[in-house]
Amino acid sequence: MAFSATVHFPQRQKGLLIPTGLFINNRFVASSDGSTIKAINPATEEVICEVQSASAKDIDLAVDAARKAFTTTWGKHVTPTERARLMFKLADLMQRDQQQLADLESLNNGKPNRFARDADIGDSIACLRYYAGWADKNYGQYIELDEQQKFAFTKHEPIGVCGQIIPWNYPIQMWAWKVGPALATGCTIVMKPSELTPLTALKLCELVIEAGFPPGVINCVPSLGSVGGAALSAHPGVDKVAFTGSTITGRKIMEAAAKSNLKKVSLELGGKSPSIIFNSVDLDQAATWTAFGILWNSGQDCTAGSRLYVQEGIYDKFIKILVEKASQFKIASAWEDDVAGGPLISKAQFDKVWNYIEEGKREGAKCVLGGQKLAGKGYFVPPTIFVDVKPNMKIVKEEARACRIFGPVLSVAKFSTEEEGIALANDTTYGLAAAVHSNDQAQCNRVANALQAGTVWINAYCLLYNNVPFGGFKQSGIGRELGSYALHEYTSVKAVHWNFGEKLDWPL
């Protein structure tokens, strides 16, 4: 392979040959200006390999390839049954190579290998199969009209070429969330993976070829966000942009889309997601879900429950149990036994999280767990809990570039009444997710209705399913991922009026 590298994994005897070129028109090619990106192992801080980095000219080539495929070999030119067949084939190939993909994901992202394999990649395979099942079910409507010799119907047509910009915290899963509905509806794709985690997206392109997708249907252009992401957002040949990432970048994408061709935009942005713990809860279970909600993926999750509000009647007991649960969460290299969380993604992210931890201490928040740097290499941050926080502390209010601390850091405060708990939870410009923990069913219903969030968990946290829509309120996003709702983001509705008999008299 012209553009490739062999990477090696801990506890694996054989290396893995991976592509490192841009993927355009079913070929791995060089960047037009020779730029490259270094892929880093966040557990060791070592360079894994270098991949080609797309320029604006390369984005033009990828968009042209996607446009040609849309107008000649994909879009309306392939039956829904054929689209489904190719998607099922791709999912089967991912399942065949599930361990290889998990190894690569762990190496480049740092997450525990077993979670990468069983959760992220397992769910991504299921996501493709879910949307393959939708390929022939994207129905319009038959509409009866008042006139007897006329009727109307609607068609849901593929929107066209889609620029898809995905983040580094769930590289394969975010790939599947966006590729699935786009392919099922007949769109073509120019995918820009995060410059921090390009390796699995490129490896998947090999499977795209093996599955038999026509050239240009899926293209992959690793690049800096300021280059590739900006070019896709402003490109007149792109019909829709789907983005997952920070609210600040989301605003830039909307602006570029408006100034270019008013392309359709869907945004899944960040949040400062709250959890409310009421007096009636099962303390052990509520503490378990709360720890899971902030520590899963080492806190690098857009929905991570970073703000916790505990009713005063159980506050002290709950904090004690929560600290005990969180202290059992093992942060280590992806291949160590019983590891529950890995390193943060980069030096920049590591430094940002530690700056917030130090700021929390300076502002007087009480740190009851963690808060001290670990020895050795790697961007590891231990579970950290601040209690008795005040509403205006930076660790509670300031969203920063990634919309929150984006690490395993939890801020805890006390409240007295249900109304106060709801007000504290909603006191944010974001609204991606929230949780309520209570054994009072009527209270659960009241609070869930009052919370301003796109996802509300009741006596649970962080559980997402491919058939349930996901997205944000307020500044946490526009549009929805997953479920049948995601299909709407990749289609345009055409209304067809049919006159099959009525004559028009002329002149009027």
Question: Which are the catalytic amino acids?
Answer: 268
Taking the CA atoms of 18, 22, 25 and 28 in sequence, report the sign of the dihedral they define.
negative
Distance CA 19, CA 28 (A): 7
- Dist CA 111 CA 332 (whole Å): 9
Give residue for tokens 């007149």: 236
Residue 481 DSSP one-character state:
B
Phi, psi values for residue 246, rounded to 5°:
-80, 155
- Name every residue whose Cβ is closer than 8 Å to that of residue 438 and which is 6 or more positions away in sequence: 278, 280, 281, 444, 447, 458, 459
CA distance 200 to 191: 12
Q: Which of 202, 206, 211, 181 is nearest to 82 (CA)?
A: 211
Question: Are 280 and 440 a contacting pair, CB within 8 Å?
Answer: yes
> How long, in residues, is the chain?
508
Q: Which helix (H) or strand (E) holds 41?
A: strand 36-41
65 closest CA partner among 33, 23, 37, 32: 23
Q: How far apart are CA 196 and CA 39, in angstroms?
A: 6
3 state DSSP class of 131: helix
Do 76 and 83 form a contact (C-beta atoms < 8 A)?
no
* Distance of alpha carbon 199 from alpha carbon 181, whole angstroms: 22
How far apart are the C-alpha atoms of 320 and 346, rounded to whole Å?
32
* DSSP symbols for 256-320: HHHHTT--EEEEE-----EEEE-TTS-HHHHHHHHHHHHHGGGG--TT---EEEEETTTHHHHHH
- DSSP-derived secondary structure letter, 76: G
